[in-house]
Amino acid sequence: METTGAETMLKSQAVMAGQREFIFPAVKALYDEPVVIAEAEGVRVRDVDGKEYLDLFGGILTTSVGHCNPKVVARSQEQMARLGHTSTLYVTEPQVEAAQRLADIAPGQLSQTFFTNSGTEAIETAIHMACLHTDRTEIIALRQAYHGRSFLASNITAVSSWRPMASTFPGIKHTITPYEYRCPFKQPCDESCTDAFINDL
């Protein structure tokens, strides 16, 4: 049964109303009138109104091979039918196989993997490991970098729109992000830049 444009728009409005009512207000869409996405394939997404868009948002790493990639869908369905979830307290063949494949293509002596669930968790874990390994607590982060939404990760992030409050963790320093096109030092990009970056810290 086909729906009319008015009915579809009502569905879009209903979804947005549900977003406002049931989703925590800190979870904000990128636009004032966001697209309500219903489905996607490859590089295209379709909203609930049936309008199609070319997806140019490259920030979500899990879609770097395209939306609903047939190979990814097939392997995901196959794995979910065998074992949907377990803890790293147990050993699983797919995890070892993935780590081995990463070791095969990683440069130098990078031969072991620590899997995490998200970029934020990866940042937190990397900082934790670095502090334990060096016995130091100072952290240097780039001013234009985004690190995640956890408390520590948002403190490391210097961009105000991504960090709701001033940093409360001691030992966090922010340095200028290397960006030759809009370099604040207005000088040739050579070894002399090193001193400028150090002085900025």
Can you state the percent helix, strand and coil of the chain, rounding each to 5? Answer: 40, 10, 45
Tokens of 24: 């925590």
Residue 173 Rama label (left phi>0; alpha psi -120 to 50; beta)? beta
Between CA 187 and CA 193 the distance in angstroms is 8
pLDDT for 58 equals: 64
Strands 139-142 vs 44-47: parallel, antiparallel or unpaired: unpaired
> Which residue is it, tokens 């030092």?
185
Question: What confidence tens digit (pLDDT) does each residue in 81-125 have?
Answer: 999 998 889 999 999 999 999 999 999 999 999 999 888 999 999
In the chain, which residue ranges form alpha helices assigned H by DSSP?
5-22, 70-82, 93-105, 119-134, 151-156, 192-200
Question: What confidence tens digit (pLDDT) does each residue in 174-185 have?
Answer: 888 888 788 788
The average confidence (pLDDT) of the chain is 87
> pTM value?
0.75
Residues in CB range of 69: below 8 A, 6 or more apart: 42
Indicate if the pLDDT at residue 6 is higher than 80: no
Between CA 18 and CA 1 the distance in angstroms is 24
Question: Which 8-state DSSP code applies to residue 178?
Answer: P
Question: What confidence tens digit (pLDDT) does each residue in 124-165 have?
Answer: 999 999 999 999 999 999 988 889 888 899 899 988 877 777
> Which residue is it, tokens 């809009």?
182
Tokens of 120: 């934020």
* Interval 166-192 mean pLDDT: 81
